[in-house]
Amino acid sequence: MKALSKQKAEEIFALENSKGKIVLGADTVVVLGKKVLGKPKDEQDAFKMLKSLSGRAHYVYTGVCFLYEIGGKKRVINTLAKTRVYFYKLSDEQINAYVASGSPMDKAGGYGIQDGGLVRKIQGSFSNVVGLPVELCKKIYKKIEKETGNDQTCD
């Protein structure tokens, strides 16, 4: 996740209109045991992912990378947020209804915590599970702001 978040940030940082700006790249995955669950390939894959998560705990990791310049030198802050997520035990009918909604198809692990009804509890950052650990990003941004003396708005 850290490598992919850095790659995403590097691509934007290289653009001409990014000169002098602070760039953020992020990438999120769901990890169940030793298996990484990305975005489902199709509805059948989404069903299998959700079935495997049902009644179990897993982790959500988001790689976060900030790129910026000070005195013409590129600076990189690349880190990781981790949240433990506990799913309710879901019936096949609940999973099928959720898959039919289309919501799982563009989300790591095949679910969106913001959709409700799937997650029993979390330990860590809610916004990390949504896809961007806002608290962590604010903390890093404040550090960059102090270091650069640059009070930028986010584009």
113: number of Cβ within 10 Å: 19
27 given a catalytic annotation: yes
Structural domains present in the chain: 2-148 (3.90.950.10)
Give the model's pLDDT for residue 154: 52
Among the listed residues 27, 45, 106, 115, the single catalytic one is 27
What pTM was computed for the model? 0.88
**Per-residue pLDDT tens digits for 31-78:** 999 999 999 999 999 999 999 999 999 999 999 999 999 988 999 999
Q: What is the CA radius of gyration of the chain?
A: 18
Q: Distance from CA of residue 76 to its chain's centroid?
A: 19
